[in-house]
């Protein structure tokens, strides 16, 4: 018999070993909160938990079956020290989590990455983010480290992560450009009860072996990247070496009239802008050079932009009941344009103290920018005169639009990652206040690069280490 969520919570606390059916109507927020309370309690208490959701989104009710056990065992965390498998054990292997196991993982990761959302919304968001561009059609893979002898849904999840298949370009000294793929590793997580036993290290070592041949179609995999929030050493020791620089500029929000020069970018504009951008990126990558043997870039494609924007949609709908219409700003006429594509990122509730919500500029394009090759010899190619003044005015308009957008949407900073030499120079000229930051602990872009035959190779020059590729 299906019972209400409030009874589910009471039943969970008192029943020694049982399972229940819990029914609720769509958008029944209180019900979702209680269900979430059961979930987090189950995980905290290390009790067997299995959730089966049934029903169709068009039906008035959805039914969740919750199964649990009285004490920590099988799927629950190990309670005895002797129960922890050795991280070097041959029994441990990478596997893909089942849908039920994904719910356990997301419930565990909520404390770290719930950001502005309560648990039920975070669970919804996590599921939703498996269906959006870059993730859908097997673009995203979920990984867990488990004992390979135990059946799915009854095995402790020692740690977990996700990978995203990304379209990349490499080029060599003569400027031959190759299309290939890079896997982006994200959400490396170990539940508190399992930490400091080497499981994530083992998982990363297994991934290093698996990813070079994972999901290859016609394209070669040239490497894997991640953005470390735990400094440079942990992943560096495992072969994901930090990029030599991880810099960004921070601007403060500023209430200002909307664009005097240029206009807002809306979602419908993005496909064409990304296409034009890719043509320019290919051209820049094809520039011959004697300075750099190998270059790599993650293509700033529509899928990357939309992944960030879908995440933004979810949080802003929850926080404001609407989504921000502006996805960026653009100034100038085609061939001579400057544009920024941005995303609104809420790391915590709007009343949190201190607040640290960010308008990230995902990608900044200055069409006339010859320093965009990122080659040392091109760094001085900064044109002067009236054209320079015009470009500074366009860039200033775009950045001020970002500052105004941040003020309007209650964001605390605007961040622009890895500006080109010309952009840095023009920002200085524009007189816009900013702070230059070199990140040492968080969002450290790190890469493991595979040579022609899958063997380790020297790190290429990472062209456009901008925020769009973060995930």
Ligand X SMILES: CC(C)(COP(=O)(O)OP(=O)(O)OC[C@H]1O[C@@H](n2cnc3c(N)ncnc32)[C@H](O)[C@@H]1OP(=O)(O)O)[C@@H](O)C(=O)NCCC(=O)NCCS
Q: Does 199 bind ligand X (CB under 6 A)?
A: yes
Partners of residue 427 on adjacent β-strands: none
Q: Does 188 bind ligand X (CB under 6 A)?
A: yes
Length of the chain: 471
Partners of residue 265 on adjacent β-strands: 328
Give the residue, chosen from 104, 105, 190, 359, that forms a contact with ligand X under the rule CB under 6 A.
190
Give the residue, chosen from 78, 128, 234, 320, that forms a contact with ligand X under the rule CB under 6 A.
234
Nearer to ligand X, 109 or 130 (CB): 109
CA distance 110 to 309: 20
CB of 296 to ligand X, least distance (A): 21
Give the residue, chosen from 13, 61, 229, 433, that forms a contact with ligand X under the rule CB under 6 A.
229
Give the residue, chosen from 201, 298, 302, 330, that forms a contact with ligand X under the rule CB under 6 A.
201
Nearer to ligand X, 141 or 228 (CB): 228
Helix, strand, coil percentages (3-state) for the chain, rounded to 5, are 35, 25, 40
CA nearest to 22, candidates 33, 9, 8: 8
CB of 141 to ligand X, least distance (A): 17
User: Could you say which DSSP state residue 55 is in?
Assistant: S
Give the residue, chosen from 55, 118, 152, 198, that forms a contact with ligand X under the rule CB under 6 A.
198
Q: Shortest Cβ contact with ligand X: which residue?
A: 230
User: Could you say which DSSP state residue 460 is in?
Assistant: P
CB of 247 to ligand X, least distance (A): 19
Count of residues near ligand X by CB under 6 A = 16
Q: Does 241 bind ligand X (CB under 6 A)?
A: no
The encoded tokens of residue 372 equal 């965009």
Greatest CA span in the chain, whole angstroms?
79
CA nearest to 396, candidates 423, 418, 360: 423
CB 96: neighbour CB atoms within 10 A? 11
Q: Does 200 bind ligand X (CB under 6 A)?
A: yes
Q: Please, which residues have CB within 8 angstroms of residue 280's CB and are 6 or more apart in sequence? A: 365, 367, 372
Nearer to ligand X, 59 or 230 (CB): 230
CB of 109 to ligand X, least distance (A): 7
CB of 423 to ligand X, least distance (A): 28
CA nearest to 390, candidates 361, 409, 366, 406: 366
CA distance 237 to 448: 11
Give the residue, chosen from 44, 96, 148, 195, that forms a contact with ligand X under the rule CB under 6 A.
195
SS3 category, 224: strand
In contact, 190 and 201? CB cutoff 8 Å: no
Q: Which of residues 93-122 bind ligand X (CB under 6 A)?
A: 112
CB of 229 to ligand X, least distance (A): 4
Q: Does 89 bind ligand X (CB under 6 A)?
A: no
Q: Does 88 bind ligand X (CB under 6 A)?
A: no
Give the residue, chosen from 33, 41, 62, 197, that forms a contact with ligand X under the rule CB under 6 A.
197
CB of 351 to ligand X, least distance (A): 24
CA distance 288 to 286: 6
CA nearest to 460, candidates 74, 170, 197: 170
Q: Select from 99-107, 185-193, 423-431, 459-467 the region that touches ligand X (CB under 6 A).
A: 185-193
CA distance 420 to 468: 15
CB of 334 to ligand X, least distance (A): 40
Which residues lie near ligand X (CB under 6 A)?
112, 188-190, 195-201, 228-231, 234
């Amino acid at each position: 018999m299906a019972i209400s969520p409030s009874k589910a919570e009471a039943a969970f606390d008192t029943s020694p070993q049982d399972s229940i059916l819990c029914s609720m109507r769509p958008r029944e927020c209180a019900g979702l909160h209680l269900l979430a309370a059961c979930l987090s309690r189950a995980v905290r208490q290390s009790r067997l938990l299995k959730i089966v959701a049934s029903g169709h989104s068009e039906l008035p009710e959805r039914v969740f079956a919750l199964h649990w056990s009285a004490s920590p065992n099988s799927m629950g965390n190990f309670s005895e020290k002797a129960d922890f498998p050795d991280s070097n054990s041959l029994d441990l292997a990478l596997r893909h989590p089942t849908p039920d196991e994904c719910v356990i993982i997301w419930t565990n990761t909520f404390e770290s990455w719930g950001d502005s959302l309560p648990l039920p919304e975070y669970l919804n968001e996590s599921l939703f983010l498996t269906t959006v561009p870059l993730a859908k059609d097997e673009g995203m893979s979920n990984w867990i480290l488990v004992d390979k002898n135990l059946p799915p849904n009854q095995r402790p999840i020692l740690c977990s992560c996700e990978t995203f298949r990304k379209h990349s370009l490499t080029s060599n000294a003569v400027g031959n450009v190759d299309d290939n793929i890079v896997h982006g590793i994200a959400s490396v997580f170990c539940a508190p009860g399992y930490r400091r036993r080497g499981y994530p290290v083992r998982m990363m070592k297994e991934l290093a072996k698996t990813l070079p041949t994972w999901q290859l179609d016609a394209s070669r995999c040239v490497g894997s990247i991640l953005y470390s929030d735990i400094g440079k050493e942990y992943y560096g020791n495992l072969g994901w070496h930090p990029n030599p620089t991880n810099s960004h500029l921070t601007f403060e929000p500023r209430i200002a009239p909307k664009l005097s020069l240029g206009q807002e970018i809306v979602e419908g504009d993005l496909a064409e802008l990304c296409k034009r951008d890719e043509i320019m990126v290919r051209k820049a990558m094809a520039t011959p050079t004697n300075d750099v043997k190998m270059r790599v870039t993650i293509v700033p494609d529509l899928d990357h932009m939309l992944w960030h924007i879908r995440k933004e949609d979810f949080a802003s709908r929850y926080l404001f009941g609407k989504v921000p219409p502006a996805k960026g700003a653009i100034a100038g006429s085609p061939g001579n344009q400057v544009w920024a594509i941005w995303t609104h990122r809420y790391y915590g509730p709007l009343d949190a103290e201190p607040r640290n919500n960010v308008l990230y500029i995902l990608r900044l394009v200055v069409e006339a920018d010859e320093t965009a090759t990122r080659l040392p010899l091109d760094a001085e190619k900064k044109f002067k005169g009236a054209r320079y003044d015009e470009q500074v005015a366009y860039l200033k308009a775009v950045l001020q639009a970002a500052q105004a957008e941040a003020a309007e949407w209650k964001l605390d900073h605007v961040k622009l990652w890895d500006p080109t030499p010309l952009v840095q120079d023009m920002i200085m000229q524009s007189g816009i206040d900013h702070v230059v930051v070199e990140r040492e602990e968080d969002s450290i872009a790190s890469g493991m690069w595979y040579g022609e035959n899958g063997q380790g190779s020297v790190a290429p020059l990472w062209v456009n280490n901008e925020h769009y590729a973060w995930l």
